[in-house]
Amino acid sequence: MQNKVVVITGGSSGIGRACAEIFGKAGAKIVITGRNEQNLQEVTLQLNQLGISCLPIIADVANENDCANVISDTIHHFGKIDVLINNAGISMRALFEECELSVIRKVMETNFFGMVYMTKSALPHIIQSQGSVVGISSIAGYRGLPARTGYSASKFAMNGFLEALRTELLPKNVHVLIAAPGFTASNIRKTALAKDGSQQGESPREEEKMMSAEEVAEHILKAVRKRKKELILTSQGKLTIWLNKWLPKNWIDKLVFNALKKEPNSPFQ
C-alpha cells in the first residue's frame, strides 16, 4: 500500500473511517468523502496527526456529478487512483407494506447507484493502475432480510454488478472485491431509515458484541493485498450464507424471521 491512492466513500464514520486509518497506516494516501464537512475535517485532522496524507471531499454519492468531481479532484491532487472502496451506504428497517417508496428509492440511490457512479468515474484510472474496486456489501446481499427489503435489494444489486464487472475486467487485470462484513459495530443502524424516511435513532442490536469496524478494515486490507474476490466476515454471517444455500427455503425463512422477531421494537411484534 505504500504511496497507493485509496478513495473511500462514506469515510467519516464506521467502516469507512476505519479503512482510512488502516490503509493510511499501511502507507496509502487517502481520499475520504462524506456529506458532513465537520465530520470530514475531524477525521482528516486525526489522520494527519498519525502522519497519514488525507484529502477530504464533500460529496453525496447519490449525486452523479458529485462522484465525478471526487474522481477529478483526486486525480488533480494525487495524480492517480489505485483502490476505490465503495463504502457509503444507508440502511432501513420497516415492513414493505408500511414503507414509503421514497425510502426504498433513497436506499437504492445511495447503496447501489452511488457505487455505480463512483466506479464509472474511477474505472479508467483503476484500469491504468491495475488496481482494485471494492464494494462493502452485506450478508443481506446473500440472504434477504425481512424489514430490510430495500437494503437487501441494494446489496444483492451490488453483488451482481461487481461479479459481472470482475468478469468483464479479467483481461485488464483489475481486482474486484465483494466484502460482506456481517453485523459490525457502527452507526448504520442508528441512522437507518424508518417507514416514513426518518432516522431510526437507536440500534436494535447489541453493538458492543459485534465485530469492530477496525477489525473489519484489517480484513479488507488483507483481502485487497491478496486480491481476493470475496470476503465474508463473522461466524454468524458465514453460517447464515451456508444455511441459506443448503437448507430448504421454508426452514431458513422461519429461522431468519424468528431471529429478527426477537429484536427490540421489532415490526413483527
Active site residues: 151
Residues 6+ apart with CB under 8 A from 64: 117
Using a 10 angstrom Cβ sphere, with 0-12 exposed, 13-18 middle and 19 or more buried, the burial of residue 54 is buried
Beta strands in 94-225 (DSSP E): 132-136, 175-180, 184-185, 211-212
What cell does 15 get?
Answer: 467502516
Q: How many CB atoms lie within 10 A of CB 175?
A: 19
Please choose, from the candidates 91, 104, 101, the residue with its C-alpha nearest in 3D space to the C-alpha of residue 139. Answer: 91
Residue with the three cell numbers 458484541 = 209
- C-alpha cell read off for 235: 461466524
Which long-range contacts (C-beta less than 8 Å, at least 24 apart) are formed by 153-159?
153/104, 153/107, 153/108, 154/89, 154/107, 154/108, 154/110, 154/111, 154/112, 155/111, 157/108, 157/111, 157/112, 158/86, 158/111, 158/112, 158/115, 159/135
